[in-house]
Amino acid sequence: MPTSLALLFKLIYRPKYALASLRDSAPYLAGALLALAATLLYDYAASGALWVMSQPRGGAAAERLSPLFITLLFSKVIASAAPVGFIALVFAPACLLAASLIDRRTSFGVLLRQEYAGLLSCVFYCWAISHLALTIPAAFLSGAMQANLGAAAGLWAARLGYFVTLVALALHVVLRLSYGGAAGGALLACLSLVVLPLVPSLMHFLSSPMILILVILFLRRYASDLLSSHGARTRFKQNMEMATLNQADATAHYNLGLIYQQRGMNEEATTFFNRAIEIDPEEIDAHYQMGRIARDEGRLPDAIGHFDSVVRLNPAHSQSEVWREIGRAYLQAGQFADAAEALERFLDRRSSDAEGRYHYGLALQGLGREQEAAAEMNGVIESVRTSPPYKYRLEKQWMRDAQSFIAGRTARKRGKGIAE
């Protein structure tokens, strides 16, 4: 529990570090308890009950142990548990759904199985700290809020704004969305908060033991499937960390680096990839992933160096995708002739690849071959439109980008016509 509390308060001054730690450890039970306690404390502070309870009165202890007080306290706990249950059952899945709509790389079902536990833990902690941060202001303004709806609305807006900001950061850290995509996903998910006021009524409905047992039995299997996936990945990571104790095992270091890379933790991934290459200079997969990381970080000479090592060892590595990666690196460097040459080699082997064709079109445009570039972009659009459903989802992004390219080219031509 001390570690859980430390991560909670690190959300204030080191939010990305705290969210990354929560994503990896996924303490959803501790997060649920903290969210419940924070909600209860905030509600008491906002109602002014903290000031009343702090005042000495005769027989106060006996009153607080009375059956009426215990009944009221139980009702308050049930009411505070409503948003916690809502986060687990509605809001966290809504975040994953919004992410799948914004970033088409992964379907909602896959995200739900792979990222639910980690994201749920992050959202619980975001909810808890957004309430705790405003508990003291709520206590001081409790009287004003009861007399002035503007004060209550201002405090509610501040709490919601802090929560949404943290959730957007969580989507960026956990799901590796861009900051803009993460903000859009958080705002879309917040549409589900419209039904939050109705949840307390449902919680009172579930206070019937028989109904509650039936709901738990119905949801148990689904919850077990969602949470066990994260547990399996955590155990796999622990096994890989144990395997890296053998300093001569290049494969174990590569696999652990791959786990960190998939989590967006490129610094840690680079460390393990470098160690794999030190153990085995011909560890081709480590060179390939190091090249991709270097390209994404703008270290283009390093990227080209790693990709050259891959080509030297196996020119057809990863179904020849290494040539596409080389082309992209040269494209970023503005070396359009080299980019076109590398992408032509890739397309000779995989002519229907939408991503490769899109980047080849950009290279052609950079060389001033506008007509050929437009033809390539039209080819991308047609290729994606006629692809099978599973492939369409993966490549739809390149169709949209190609359509934007064609629309921009058409607008430029019209602009020139008007100028003439």
Question: Is 44:73 a contact under the CB 8 Å cutoff?
Answer: no
Considering the chain, what percentage of its residues have pLDDT values greater than 70? 76
pLDDT at 51: 45
Residue 365: pLDDT over 60: yes
Joined together, the tokens standing for residue 150 give 């503007």
Across the range 346-369, mean pLDDT stands at 92
Buried b (16+ CB within 10 A) or exposed e, 46-67: bbbebeeeeeeeeeeeeeeeee
Residues 74 and 193 in one domain: yes
| Of 191 and 80, more confident | 191
pLDDT at 132: 92
Residues 392 and 377 in one domain: yes
Residues 250 and 322 in one domain: yes
Residue 2: pLDDT over 80: no
Tokens 């057809």: give the residue: 316
Considering the chain, what percentage of its residues have pLDDT values greater than 90? 30
Domain edge (last residue) among 211, 229, 247: 229
Three-state DSSP at 83 gives helix
270: containing domain: 230-419
Residue 300: pLDDT over 50: yes
Domain edge (last residue) among 229, 255, 283: 229
Residues 312 and 215 in one domain: no
Rg (CA), the chain: 27
Buried b (16+ CB within 10 A) or exposed e, 352-384: ebbbbbbbbbbbbbbeebeeebbebbbbbbebb
Across the range 288-307, mean pLDDT stands at 91
Residues 175 and 76 in one domain: yes
Q: CA-CA distance, 272 to 286, in Å (whole number)?
A: 9
Residue 20: pLDDT over 90: no
Residue 38: pLDDT over 50: yes
Give how many domains the chain has, as a whole number.
Answer: 2
Residue 205: pLDDT over 60: no
- CA 412 vs CA 317, 338, 371, 405: distances in Å: 39, 27, 14, 11
pLDDT at 344: 93
User: Which amino acid is it at 12?
Assistant: I
pLDDT at 62: 46
pLDDT at 90: 87
Across the range 171-179, mean pLDDT stands at 88
Across the range 295-321, mean pLDDT stands at 88
Residue 263: pLDDT over 50: yes
Three-state DSSP at 77 gives helix
| Of 2 and 320, more confident | 320
Residues 106 and 238 in one domain: no
pLDDT at 53: 46
The tens digit of pLDDT for each residue in 249-262 reads 888 888 888 877 87
pLDDT at 338: 93
Residues 299 and 394 in one domain: yes
Q: Is the pTM of this model over 0.85?
A: no
pLDDT at 419: 52
Tokens 């080209």: give the residue: 304
DSSP state of 192: G
Residue 357: pLDDT over 90: yes
Across the range 169-176, mean pLDDT stands at 90
pLDDT at 144: 60
Q: What are the two backbone dihedrals, phi and then psi, of residue 265, each rounded to the nearest 5 degrees?
A: -95, 75
Please state, rounded to an integer, the average pLDDT across all residues of the chain. Answer: 80
DSSP 310-337: HHHH-TTHHHHHHHHHHHHHHHHTT-HH
Q: Please tell me which of 43-57, 371-385, 392-406 the model is most confident about, judged by mean pLDDT.
A: 371-385
User: Lowest-confidence range among 27-36, 153-162, 388-397?
Assistant: 388-397
pLDDT at 71: 57
Residues 176 and 322 in one domain: no
Sign for the CA dihedral angle at 77, 78, 79, 84 comes to positive
The tens digit of pLDDT for each residue in 63-111 reads 444 555 555 555 666 667 778 888 888 899 999 999 988 877 677 877 8
| Of 197 and 118, more confident | 118
Q: For residue 391, name the pLDDT band (cuts at 50, 70, 90).
A: confident
Q: CA-CA distance, 419 to 397, in Å (whole number)?
A: 33
Residues 163 and 210 in one domain: yes
Residues 102 and 39 in one domain: yes
Residues 235 and 245 in one domain: yes
Question: Is 199:82 a contact under the CB 8 Å cutoff?
Answer: yes
Residue 175: pLDDT over 70: yes
Domain edge (last residue) among 172, 197, 229: 229
Residues 60 and 204 in one domain: yes
Check which CATH number belongs to the domain holding 347 and give it.
Answer: 1.25.40.10
